[in-house]
């Protein structure tokens, strides 16, 4: 499982516009409001910064486009 978290660098460090999902749990624990949570101890949650997710999606789209252009040029020749 993974969750998207606040940004690391873009547009500003720590930027987030809501307190939903895993961020609500982190905020509750940080404020001392949430002290106990029922969870499966073997489960792992990977938290990924939002700007990293966005940058990976853009990089994948560019890479896919480059491959498509190369393959279509080979087909035409």
For 13-68, write each residue's pLDDT tens digit.
878 787 777 788 888 988 999 998 888 889 888 888 888 999 999 999 999 988 88
**Spatial contact of 23 and 6, defined as CB atoms under 8 Å apart:** yes
* Residue 77, token pair as written in the block: 């020749």
- Per-domain boundaries in the chain: 2-76
Spell out the residues 6+ positions from residue 44 whose beta carbon is closer than 8 angstroms to its own.
Answer: 1
Q: What is the pTM of this model?
A: 0.61
d(CA 17, CA 23): 11
Closest CA to 6 of 45, 57, 51, 46: 51
Model confidence band, residue 2 (pLDDT cutoffs 50, 70, 90): confident
Mean pLDDT confidence for 8-16: 82
pLDDT of res. 77: 67
pLDDT of res. 63: 92
């Amino acid at each position: 499982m993974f969750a998207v978290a606040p940004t690391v660098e873009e547009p500003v460090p720590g930027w987030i516009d809501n307190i939903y999902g895993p961020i609500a749990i982190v905020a509750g624990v940080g404020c001392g409001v949430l002290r106990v949570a029922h969870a499966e101890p073997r489960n792992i949650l990977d938290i990924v910064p939002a700007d990293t997710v966005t940058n990976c999606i853009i990089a994948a789209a560019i890479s896919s486009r480059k491959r498509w252009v190369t393959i279509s040029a080979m087909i035409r020749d």
